[in-house]
C-alpha cells in the first residue's frame, strides 16, 4: 500500500514539474516568436467556388500562419460592382503548433451582377503583438476571378426585375386609409382631452377671504421683519383697494384717493358710514408716505391693519364660502 502511495506522489511531482517546464518553455517560445511575420498559407479562394448564381452568397476565405502573439482584428474586401460585401467578417483559429497558430478569415459576399467578376482585394489587419513590435500589420492580396451566372428560368417562372417592383394600388390605398383613420382617432382623442381640461372645475375664492388671507400674511411678514413700514403700508393700501373693487363691483383703476372715495359715495352708500373716516385717513396717510415721503408710524400701521381686517369682516357677504364653477 505504501509503495502505491509513493508511486502516486512521484507521478504527481513529475506532472507538476512537466507542467512548469512546459509553461516556462512556452513563455520563452512566445517571447522568441513575437517579432515573426504573418504569412499566408494558401491563396484566397471562394466558398462555394465559382460559378455561382446571381443573388446567392459566397465567402472569400484566406488562411494565415502567425505567432501566438498575433491575431486578426479586421477584414474587408474591395471588389467591383459585381460582388458586394455584407455582414461582419469571421475569424476562426485552426491548427496550433509550438509557437505558431493558423487563423482562417472569412468575408461574406453577395453576387449582384452576372458575368466574370475580376479585380478587388482582401485587406486583413493584424494586431502588433506587443508594444515593442510596432504598429498593426496590414495584409493585402488580390481576389481570384469569380463567374456569376443567371438564374435558370423555366417557362412557368415569372421573374420581375427588383428595381421594377411596384406595390399593388389596393395596398397603397389601404395604407392611406389606415393612416387617415389613425389621424382621425388622434384628433378625436386630443379634442376630448381639450374639452375635459376646459370643463375642469375652478375654485372661486370670495374677495373677503382673499383679503383676510393677505392681511394675515402682511401681519406675519411685518412681525418676521419681511416688510419695512413703508412697504407694509403700501401693501395694505393695495389689499384694501382691491377688496373694495371686487366686493362692490367698482372700477377705480388709476384713481386718486379723493376720486376713489367719491366713487364709493356715488355707489349708493355701499360702504358703511362708520368705516369711511378710517378709510379716508388711511388712504391719505398712504399717499403722504408714497408721494411726500413722510415716514410711517409703526403703531399707526398696526392699527390700520386691525381696522382693515374689521372693515373686511363687517362688509363681507354672510354664509358664502369658496365655491367651484366650470370654466
205-227 tens-digit pLDDT: 888 899 999 999 988 888 888 77
Residue 213: the pLDDT is 92
Domain locations in the chain as residue ranges = 39-148, 204-326
Separation of alpha carbons 323 and 314, rounded Å = 21
Place of cell 383703476: 253
Contact predicate 106/92, CB 8 Å: yes
135-168 tens-digit pLDDT: 678 888 888 888 888 877 666 655 544 444 454 5
- Comparing 280 with 305, which gets the higher pLDDT? 305
- To the nearest whole number, what is the mean pLDDT of the chain? 78
Tell me how far the alpha carbon of residue 106 is from its chain's centroid. 38
**18: which strand partners?**
none
Bridging pattern class, strands 52-53 and 146-149: parallel
Contacts of 224 (CB under 8 A, 6+ apart): none
Q: Which whole-number Å values give the CA distances from 151 to 108, 119, 158, 166, in the listed order?
A: 20, 23, 12, 22
Separation of alpha carbons 251 and 260, rounded Å = 9
* Model confidence pTM above 0.75: no
| Mean pLDDT to the nearest integer, 285-309 | 81
pLDDT at 252 over 70: no
Q: Which CATH architecture has domain 39-148?
A: Sandwich (2.60)
**Dihedral angle at the C-alpha atoms of 221, 223, 228, 229, nearest 10 degrees?**
110
Class of domain 204-326: mainly alpha
Residue 163: the pLDDT is 46
Element (H, E) at 100: strand 100-111
Beta strands per DSSP E along 170-244: 201-204
Separation of alpha carbons 309 and 302, rounded Å = 11
Which phi and psi angles does 76 have, rounded to 5°?
Answer: -150, 160
Amino acid at each position: 500500500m505504501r509503495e502505491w502511495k509513493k508511486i502516486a506522489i512521484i507521478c504527481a511531482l513529475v506532472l507538476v514539474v512537466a507542467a512548469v517546464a512546459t509553461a516556462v518553455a512556452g513563455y520563452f517560445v512566445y517571447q522568441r516568436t513575437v517579432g515573426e511575420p504573418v504569412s499566408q498559407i494558401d491563396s484566397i479562394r471562394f466558398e462555394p467556388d465559382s460559378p455561382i448564381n446571381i443573388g446567392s452568397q459566397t465567402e472569400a476565405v484566406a488562411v494565415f500562419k502567425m505567432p501566438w502573439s498575433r491575431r486578426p482584428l479586421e477584414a474587408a474586401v474591395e471588389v467591383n460592382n459585381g460582388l458586394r460585401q455584407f455582414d461582419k467578417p469571421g475569424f476562426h483559429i485552426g491548427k496550433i503548433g509550438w509557437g505558431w497558430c493558423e487563423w482562417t478569415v472569412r468575408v461574406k459576399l453577395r453576387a449582384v451582377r452576372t458575368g466574370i467578376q475580376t479585380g478587388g482585394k482582401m485587406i486583413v489587419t493584424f494586431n502588433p503583438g506587443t508594444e515593442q513590435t510596432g504598429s498593426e500589420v496590414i495584409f493585402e492580396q488580390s481576389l481570384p476571378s469569380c463567374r456569376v451566372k443567371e438564374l435558370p428560368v423555366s417557362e412557368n417562372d415569372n421573374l420581375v426585375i427588383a428595381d421594377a417592383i411596384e406595390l399593388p394600388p389596393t395596398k397603397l390605398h389601404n395604407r392611406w386609409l389606415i393612416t387617415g383613420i389613425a389621424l382621425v382617432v388622434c384628433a378625436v382623442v386630443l379634442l376630448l382631452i381639450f374639452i375635459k381640461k376646459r370643463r375642469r372645475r375652478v375654485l372661486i375664492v370670495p374677495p373677503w377671504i382673499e383679503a383676510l388671507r393677505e392681511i394675515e400674511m402682511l401681519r406675519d411678514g411685518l412681525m418676521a421683519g419681511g416688510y419695512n413700514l413703508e412697504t407694509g403700508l403700501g401693501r395694505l393700501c393695495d389689499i384694501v383697494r382691491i377688496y373694495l373693487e371686487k366686493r362692490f363691483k367698482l372700477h377705480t383703476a388709476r384713481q386718486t384717493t379723493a376720486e376713489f372715495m367719491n366713487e364709493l359715495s356715488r355707489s349708493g352708500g355701499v360702504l358703511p358710514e362708520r368705516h369711511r373716516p378710517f378709510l379716508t385717513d388711511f388712504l391719505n396717510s398712504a399717499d403722504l408716505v408714497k408721494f411726500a415721503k413722510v415716514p410711517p408710524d409703526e403703531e399707526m400701521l398696526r392699527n390700520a391693519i386691525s381696522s382693515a381686517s374689521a372693515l373686511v369682516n363687517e362688509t363681507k357677504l354672510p354664509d358664502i364660502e369658496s365655491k367651484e364653477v366650470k370654466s
